Structure 1
Amino acid sequence: MGLGIGTCGGLGGLSGRRQPIERLHNRAKSLCARERITIRQAAFESVALKNLADHCLKLALTHFELGDVMALYEIEKSNLSFFEEKTGISGDFASLLWEGEVEFIEPDTVNVRRFGPDVPTAYLHFSELMVTQEIKEVFDKELKGFSAIRANKKKIINADWMNFKQDFFDKYFSLSDAISKGKHDPEAASKMPDLWLIVPDSPLNLKKMPDGLWEFDWQDESDFYYGSGDRLGMFVSEKARDLMNELGDLLVFSELQAKPE
């Protein structure tokens, strides 16, 4: 089963010279956040800069709650590289075939219109994560902090879309015509795996800092978050990212360069 079709980097730049305490601490936190280690770990692992690290550790123990910086990853998009290379179709044309159309009628009603019965087991439609029944069951067992809404198969067009070429679109006036003018095939719909919309339960409040990092806070520790504040999107834990990568290579992730608020 898988996603498919059906050491401290050094407190570099810091020296033992006296600098304003707040500046020292913020810089240490920033660098350690980037390496996903705690200032406590830096104190024991950075021999050459032990004095400074000890200073930062003492300050952190006094004013901050210590703990590992949580690594988070944004799901940027579907990984279309294999499909684009195979078919020669790229851009919006490839996205339409791979992801189809997703329609939201109510908070708990989702319709899909797409080619089938073949379907990627996971894909990102804009910022919405769609997965098949198989993957949803894995998420249920291994991950937390999400709800799942079963999608209605509103229109499933029977086609061998994985083998289309660019000239398939020549007969249509607009890109959306490829689906709007297609005919629903009940048999193809019944053969196509059920699709589920994965909805994060918790917000991740993001604030962009002058140093380019993102400061964030959350209410409940989770494997899924929806972005709010200065940045939207879907964010997942390292555990969730690793699980999805183990299941396949259908999603593109980028690490959130951030530090907790």
Structure 2
Amino acid sequence: MKYYIIKNKQMPWGDYGNVLAYGFISKNATGDIIIERIGPMIPAIYLYNKYIAVVDGLKNTIESSSLKGYVFKQAKKEKIVKLEWEGWDANEKIHDKPKSGEPEDFILKRKHDPELAEKLPGIWVMILNTTSAGQIDLSKKNVGDYSHISIDLTDWDGSDLFRTPQLGHLFCTEKAKEVLEKYTAYLNFFEIQTNV
């Protein structure tokens, strides 16, 4: 079986593009998962730190796929701002750049749009099991790939989607890759080595 690191597709304009496409996911003091992002465009599935965000329709597909290693938790659309950026030319400088110059201000300095938030599909967060062991060999590091990262499967619990205690990356099996990659153009999968 093959194993992969899952990464968001790199967007144009660096951090600006990443904020436009993926926004922010966090946990508040009461344990709720909070979404702050731009709409109306929302990828069907995308990553933010240790979370995988999924819209309603794809959640049902994933649940019926028999993938293992996660639980779903519904997220609160705490701040949704309207900005139709998808038509911007990726070969030109970024449009409508925040006055502060800070990418996060695309969201933080704009007003919440309750009507848009209501129209967006429900957003769920996949919280992944922590299993296996992640390893890094810096002598193998090459710019643009993940050949320096491997996983030790000795204590792997069979999860198709998982994290390791040592690394912040999200990993998946070939089975999970085959399910997820059908539904989004916003994820990339990089094969990694395994050590048993």
Q: TM-score, normalised by structure 2?
A: 0.82
Q: Does the C-alpha gap of structure 1 residues 219 and 257 become closer, same or farther in structure 2, counting only changes over 3 Å?
A: closer
Number of residue-to-residue matches in the alignment: 182
> 1:106 deviation in Å?
4.9
- Relative to the length of structure 1, the TM-score reads 0.63
The CA deviation at 1:188 is: 0.2
Which residue is 1:234 aligned to? 170
Q: Equivalents in 1 of 2:46, 2:84: separation in Å? A: 18
- Give the equivalent residue in structure 1 for 2:155: 218
> In structure 2, which of residues 71, 78, 85 is the aligned counterpart of residue 147 of structure 1?
71
Would you identify which runs of 4 or more consecutive aligned residues in structure 1 move more than 6 Å?
209-212
Which of 21, 28, 52 aligns to 1:98? It is 21
**CA deviation vs aligned residue, 1:66-115 (integer Å, no higher than 9, x gap):** xxxx421111x21145xx3xxxxx20000000011112125841111111
Q: Does 1:187 align with 2:115?
A: yes
CA offsets, 1:173-199, max 9 Å, x none? 422222111111111001111111111
CA RMSD in angstroms, aligned pairs only: 2.4
Deviates more, 1:204-213 or 1:177-186: 204-213
Matched, 1:72 2:15: no
> Would the aligned equivalents of 1:206 and 1:217 in 2 still touch at CA under 8 Å?
no
1:201 aligned partner, one-letter code: N
State the 1:216 CA deviation.
Answer: 3.0
Of the two structures, which has the highest relative contact order with CA contacts closer than 8 Å and spacing of 6 or more? Answer: 2
Q: Which runs of 5+ in 2 are unaligned?
A: 141-147
Confirm whether residue 125 of structure 1 aligns to residue 48 of structure 2.
yes
Alignment of 1:162-173 (within 5 A): 162-164=86-88, 166-169=94-97, 171-173=99-101
For residue 102 of structure 2, the aligned residue among 167, 171, 174 is 174
Where in structure 1 are there 5+ consecutive unaligned residues? Answer: 1-69, 85-89
| Identity percentage of aligned residues | 26
Q: Find 1:116's aligned residue among 36, 39, 43.
A: 39
Greater Rg by CA? 1
Shift in alpha-carbon separation, 1:170–1:250, aligned structure 2, 3 A:
closer
Q: Confirm or deny: 8 A CA contact 1:112 1:151 kept in the other structure.
A: yes
Whether contact under 8 Å (1:214, 1:259) holds in the other structure is yes
Change (3 A) 1:108 1:256: farther
Would you say the 8 A contact 1:121–1:135 is kept in 2? Answer: yes
Partner secondary structure for residue 189 of structure 2: strand
Are residues 172 and 152 of structure 1, via their aligned partners in 2, closer, same or farther at CA, if it must alter by over 3 Å? Answer: same
Contact 1:108 1:149 in 2 (8 A): no
**Greater per-residue helix proportion:** 1
Q: Distance in 1 between matches of 2:106 and 2:175?
A: 38
Distance in 2, Cα, partners of 1:203 & 1:107: 26
Give per-residue Cα distances to partners, 1:107-138, cap 9 Å, x unaligned.
84111111112211111123421111111111
Q: Is the 8 A contact 2:54 2:123 kept in 1?
A: yes
| Alignment partners' CA distance in 1, 2:155 and 2:70 | 14
Answer yes or no: is the 8 Å Cα contact 2:39–2:81 preserved in 1.
yes
